[in-house]
Structure 1
Amino acid sequence: MPVALYALAIGGFGIGLTEFVIMGLLPEVAADFRVSETAAGYFISGYALSVAIGAIILTAALTRIDRKKALLGLMILFIAGNLVSAVATDYTVMMLGRIIAALCHGAFFGIGSVVAAQLVAPNKKAGAISIMFAGLTISNVLGVPLGTMLGQAAGWRSTFWAITVIGVLAFIGIMLLVPARTGSEEKVLPGALRREFSAFRNPQVWLSILVTILGYGGMFGGFTYIAFTLTEVSGFSSATVPWLLILFGVGLFIGNIVGGKAADKHLGRTLLILLSALTVVLVVFAVTAGNPVMTIISLVLMGGFGFATVPGLQLRIMAYADQAPTLASGANIAAFNIGNALGAWVGGLTLAAGLGYTSPLWAGAAVTVLGLLVLLLALWFRGGEFSRKPLAKAKQELVV
């Protein structure tokens, strides 16, 4: 794989760290700004909302700009946002820093997916996308616990200073390693934005977005409240939870790589199998959550099957967006975050209804089944896509 993909992965690592590390630092941040932990939690929800907005608006705004320059500009935004967070003097400034950093998130992964795909042969596109997203998964496996430890030892601001440095390294890597334009990349012409929006005339693009929201949202619905399941049902201590989440992150990392390779061979079939398997895992997890050994196995598998869908879901929408995949790719990144919010909301409803700490897992399974049904509908419209190597012609003709 081209070394430029690893420069994109460094950017993905920094962005993933920005999104998730604050979860482990909320007590310190809340105490520093003298706000409740609920108010500090808005740094997480505010970030997610900004990701969804930025994925559409910034991607659209950057359609007429060379993609390498767009990525460099987004990394500057990322660096600035984390720098603001590191020096924030009050709650409002900190929130501003979170919003600035979040705005680049969706556009970076959306444009980065297109750049990653154009760097390799048609039969390796999903694998290339998975390498970029590997940075995001590694941030969960190693970055979040190490960032939390750094913040607890040297103050939470030190973590954001470290993320700022990672952003600078990613900027340098992209500047030096990512080509300005590959031979397959279409020249940016006037009317590019109109052409990008025209991709949404294809029903398969909207079906792909819906599969992303429901399929990924199902996993996140189960994961959002996993700490309660682990401590109240499985019997683990609170001190054990971070280490168990590392195992979940290992599942994310392995699933991302394996899912990318599988999607390059049979895209539709791979997504069908993965969503089916994820549904089964969520159900088994809910049924056996009282068994610590089964809980650990289910936790790893939930992360593995859940994130294994990501490269394929991203490739699918890019392929159906024909000659204008950039905005559709960004929209799908927004869809992942909408799925996060949907899954968390549905899982929260089950808890509020008094259905118990395994109820978010059942809710996640139900949401995933809906995603599976939408995928089956999309495959049926495609004409049995899952029965053969899908989109081979589309991937060969895809100009990215």
Structure 2
Amino acid sequence: MIGAAAWSSGKRNYRFATAALREGRFMWLFTRIAAASCFALAILVAMVQVHPAGPSGMAARGAQAAVLLSAVAVGARWRWGLWPSYWQAVIVAVWLDVSIAVLAVTMSTPVAGLCVVLFMGLNGVFVAFLMGWRTQMVHLAFCCAVIAVIVTDAAFGAGEDLATVALLLAPTLTWVLVVSLCGSWLVEYGRKAVRETARSAHYDPLTGLRNRRGMYAAVKSALSRTGDPITIVAAVCDIDRFKQLNDRDGHAAGDAALVAKAEQLRLLAARAELTARIGGDELVLVAFTADTETDVAVGELLNRLDPLTRADADVPLTASVGIATHSTSDPHFSLDDVLRHADAAMYDAKRGGGGACVVYRPGLTQPARHAAAVHRSAPLVECDCHS
């Protein structure tokens, strides 16, 4: 039985492989190859029906006919159907292993059965690429069980020439196990290298937060998973007097302060929120909320981000924070606009001396500026920021 770790790892690998196929525009090619493999299996089954080493008896022929029909159905599913879910892909892998096992044990001779088992190596490639090595271990265990059944039958009941069986057993084990394991190793380390490359392209090496590209990609992905309109809440944080710190104490001190603020922001962010460094000492938090709960979400975010505006022993610099919102229901919605408005609110906080949170509110006639910078008890500062 596959443990929870194997299922979890398989799902992660499946999502990664699926994303890679889509990103590289290879989804079309992969589905056609999978469909062609299923149709080729159906043709193989049809051919062995007239081979001397093929099935003998109605039961064996009936089992192989069921494999032939299912191969055509699965091939059609890959060719003309939608991309399968993880569980559907697992079912296909199990079906292919069981189908090849049925073909192998219903052949008239063990040698012919071992020849059929060779095709399990192709399923090993499928499993390794889409689901990872843990799931492949289950596949390989099943392959070994099928090979053991065929060899036992040859040794004790089939009257087969054992020398011929032993001669064919070596390449069968090599292809089904050794080559499959080596391929799995290459796929796994290639996957790891691609993940590290992708991470370096989407994450800031100094703070560990997403970079601008990573933030945009994560927001796009989050919005693609959401059917109903939602409101994007963006908070832009800029460290006060950061340039003076760099000039006075050197870039090492500036980097240390930036890392400390970034870690503080990461700890203040909720699980579903995104954090990023989009340039210099400018940090961003992006949250998602229902349109009807925007005011509540902004108030809660103000309270949560208030520690960023304060200096303490661990983080001796304050930060200015600007917050803006925009609903995706707006036909002119743009993440750039949300960030621009939050940036304008942040600079309004800086003009008031820094160490404050300011919410972008267009249309206010008498904005209350920088009160929080002087009176910490005032949790909300609003501004009419024209950017």
Would you call these one fold, judging by a TM-score over 0.5? no
Give the TM-score, by structure 1 length. 0.22
Higher helix share goes to which structure? 1
Q: Compare the two structures and name the one with the higher strand fraction.
A: 2
Flag the structure with more relative contact order, 1 or 2, with Cα contacts below 8 A and sequence separation at least 6: 1
TM-score by length of 2: 0.22
